[in-house]
Amino acid sequence: MIATIQLNDTTVTVDLSKPLDISIPLTNSDKNPIAWYIEKPIIEPVRFGDWVGKVSEGSSTNFNNIFFNPHGHGTHTECLGHITNDFYSINQCLKQFFFLAELISVAPEKIGEDLVIEKDSFASLAMTEAVIIRTLPNSEEKKAKNYSHTNPPYLSEEASVLLREKGIQHLLIDLPSVDREEDEGKLVAHKAFWNVKNVQNLNADARMDCTITEMIFVNDQIPDGSYILNLQIASFENDASPSKPVLYKVL
């Protein structure tokens, strides 16, 4: 299905029959990625006495509870409420869902014991609404990796500032965080991207409508280039929601 989409002052053509899903499914198996020192998700049938919400055990329906953490259990999209004293909800901050996007592949630089994505990686990035960062090497392991205690790659503060200055509104990355795993709670890349200067008393120019999406996976069959991003979230009144970012190649 070929469609013409008007976004801001740009008209693009895409094939809606060829979506490119870059989310990681949430499961209760060892195939689920994990970060931040928690256990895997729990998906289990509701139980009321002898009644079990599972068709294979005699119920008329499958009726499961799901226990998970959006930040630690897979693809999720977060707003600045993730780091502020006052409550802000991703469901209230994200009000549009289609964006012009650029997919770029980046090799983090070795700095001491860390792998860091520096601002030079984005020097030639064109003006766009969203950027999708695929880190290299790009292994299928990302879809089931336990990132806890592994010091994954992350963005430098300067890189995050540059993305903000280039007008990037939506940042997507295939890592568990844009910040260092253990950084003494500084969260400099989050703060720089959202322009949050004081988490206790939010500054007026903080970027309320901008989002960070972490723990995506972009397979190697999807080339770098221009796309339309459909950023789908669940309607949770929370700082973050599990999400399903989908790309459509610009024709």
CATH (residue range 2-26+70-249): 3.50.30.50
pTM (2 d.p.): 0.96
d(CA 181, CA 189): 12
Question: What average pLDDT does range 2-26 have in this prediction?
Answer: 91
Q: Report the alpha-carbon distance of residue 33 to residue 30 in Å, rounded.
A: 8
pLDDT at residue 231, as a whole number: 98
CB 82 within 8 A of CB 239: yes
Distance separating alpha carbons of residues 80 and 87, to the nearest angstrom: 9
> What pLDDT score was predicted for residue 1?
86
Contact 220, 138 (CB under 8 A): yes
pLDDT over threshold 90, residue 6: no
Span 171-209, pLDDT tens digits: 999 999 999 999 999 999 999 999 999 999 999 999 999
Question: What is the domain partition of the chain in residue ranges?
Answer: 2-26+70-249
**pLDDT for residue 12 is more than 90:** no
Average pLDDT over residues 215-240: 97
152-165 pLDDT, tens digit per residue, is 999 999 999 999 99
Across the chain, mean pLDDT equals 96
Q: Is 203 exposed, middle or buried (0-12, 13-18, 19+ CB in 10 A)?
A: exposed
**Hey, which residues does 64 pair with through a beta bridge?**
45
